[in-house]
Structures are given as C-alpha cells and as structure tokens.
Amino acid sequence: MELYDIIIIGAGPCGLSCGIEAQKHRLNYLIVDKGNITESIRRYPVNMLFFSTSENIEIGNVPFVSMGTRPTRTEALKYYRKVVNHFDLNLKLFTRIDNVTREGKVFTLSSANEILKAKKVIISTGYYDVPRYLEIPGETMPHVSHYYDEAFRYSRTKVVVVGGANSAIETALDLYRNDVDVTVVHIFETLDKRAKYWIVPDLENRIKKDEIKAYFKHRIKQIYERSVEIENLDDGTTKQIDADFVFLMTGYRPDIHFLEKVGISLEGEHLIPKLNMDTLESNIEGIYLGGSIIGGEETAKVFIENGRLHAGPIIEDILGKL
C-alpha cells in the first residue's frame, strides 16, 4: 500500500491550494473528495454571482479572468478545473473518507471500499454539506429544501423563503424576478446587513413595494403539504401561509460529527477547532485544518479569499516535520 506524505481531504479551492503547494515542494500527496472538483461550488445556485472579485479567489498564481468584476458560479467551476489540469493534480474523486486513525506516525484513512495511508493529513472540507436544520415538523418533506438551484421550476407558484442572509436574499430576489409569489420569513427584525451590499437594498425595496411579502421577527413552526405555520416572536400568535415550496436558507455548518470522530477538539459555543494558528495543526499532531472549516460554526469569517492562503503555512510546517 502506498504511503503518501500528505492526504488532503476536500477538493475545494483551499484543498486544491494545499495540493499545489505540496506539489511545488515535490511531496507525495493525494487530494480526496467525496464528490467532484469544487463540489460545493457546483451545488451553488445556478446563477449565483460571487461576492469576491476574480483575482481574490485565484489559486496557484493562475490568473482568473471573468466577464464581470465578480465571477459567476459557472466561470469559477471552469477556472478551478483549468487549474487542476494545469498542475495535473493528483486526485481521487467520489471517495468519502469515513474516519482517520493513527498508528505510530502513520495515519489510516478509511472509506467504504478502501484504506489509504499518509504521514500527514489536511482536512479542508468546508461547511456547505451540513445544513442548519430547524428540527421542525415537515422539514424533510419533498417540497422543502435547504439548497436553492434555479427559479424556472417554481414560476407561478407560492414559495416561502426562510432566512435573511445572502442565500435567502438572493433566492427570494431570483424567484421574484421569475414570476414566483415570494414570502420571506426571518427571525430577526431586519435583513443581515453583512450580506452582499448590492442585494440588501434591492430586497428591502421589493418588500416596501409589497412585491415580496415579509414577516420579520417570525419563525417557522411547522410545514404542511401546501402551507407553513409561522409564529410571531413578540406575542406568540401564529399564522398560516400558503406555500407550494419552502426554501430553508438558514445556513450551513461543518461536519462536526466527522471532526469529533477523528478526535479534533472543538471549543466554545461555536465549536471552533483547537488549532495552532501559526501552523494550522490541530490538537492531533500531524492533522491540519485548512479553509472555512477552521471557523467552526462562525462560517462568516473564512472564505475562499483568506482560506486559500492557509496552504502556505500548513505545507511549510509539514516540510519541517517530514
């Protein structure tokens, strides 16, 4: 069985950056992902526009040229695949790592069909795979989703969008502009002011003109086949709203179960992984974390822009220890 210097779990931009850096230093590495290259970006809404400009999400010093200042989802998908081909990165796709254990100085990574071994491990799995479930009745019904694709399936229907940050705002606006009767339900008094600066006033104006209905300081209490029940957080009264489809755009979180299974210590209410912030090595010697996963449930702190920079200090520390 081949013993790799490094196995990188996750083929997103940050995992790919680690692979590029490892290759530059002639290390024997493998990037493993349960899906394809940049699987999370592939699952973004079809017409999504990045908040970051193209140059701020480049990796490997390969220029990213997009039609606009901010790239589209499709442009990003094509770019990262060009980068992979440019460096001919060593990938093993559609392989889910279920556990990581250590025997002496060697790590064993287990999947359903095989065992992989490495001297060092980098976990760069992001947070987009695990939605923040509301744990309410009806949440798992077929017409309910935590992910948004595109608007045309929902034209001339009634849709409830839950949430007030980027994903909820963009979903509501895209649906509205494609002949959908949209209602927004949000537990706070206003939309998230940290959202993309050009979309917040857009939705606020649609609400003021009653083109999109909105219930602030309300929560979803239950989902039915053709409606939802919402609760007023001020007085506890409830109301039913017609809904053919429901999008619960309430955010996402890292795979805490996997991290705990591996033995990563998680600290505080936001479950921040315990790390040496200079090297990004975890409490387990030889296991490093890179990208947005280092923020735990504070998912608004690390993006592609700063997560891609983690590759340098991680590989530098590994070089000193191999």
Residues 147 and 219 in one domain: yes
Residues 163 and 243 in one domain: yes
Instruction: Give dist(CA 153, CA 49) in Å, integer.
Output: 20
Q: Which of 85, 89, 82 is nearest to 6 (CA)?
A: 89
Residues 28 and 118 in one domain: yes
Domain extent for 89? 3-130+252-319
Whether 300 has a pLDDT exceeding 80, the answer reads no
Q: Which of 34, 38, 62 is nearest to 50 (CA)?
A: 38
> Based on the structure, what is the number of domains in the chain?
2
Residues 241 and 177 in one domain: yes
pLDDT tens digit sequence for 151-203: 999 999 999 999 999 999 999 999 999 999 999 999 999 999 888 888 999 99
Q: Number of C-alpha atoms within 13 angstroms, CB side, residue 161?
A: 31
Residue 129 is predicted with a pLDDT of 84
Residue 270: pLDDT band with limits 50, 70, 90: confident
pLDDT tens digit sequence for 111-163: 998 999 999 999 999 988 889 999 999 999 999 999 999 999 999 999 999 99
Instruction: Give dist(CA 249, CA 212) in Å, integer.
Output: 16
Residues 137 and 119 in one domain: no
Residues 65 and 27 in one domain: yes
Query: Considering Cα of 227, then 231, then 251, then 65, what sign does the dihedral take?
Result: positive
Query: Quick check: 279 and 317 in contact, CB under 8 A?
Result: yes
| Cβ-Cβ contacts under 8 Å for 140 (sequence gap 6 or more) | none
Q: Are strands 238-242 and 227-232 parallel, antiparallel or unpaired?
A: antiparallel
CATH number at residue 230: 3.50.50.60
Instruction: Give dist(CA 230, CA 256) in Å, integer.
Output: 29
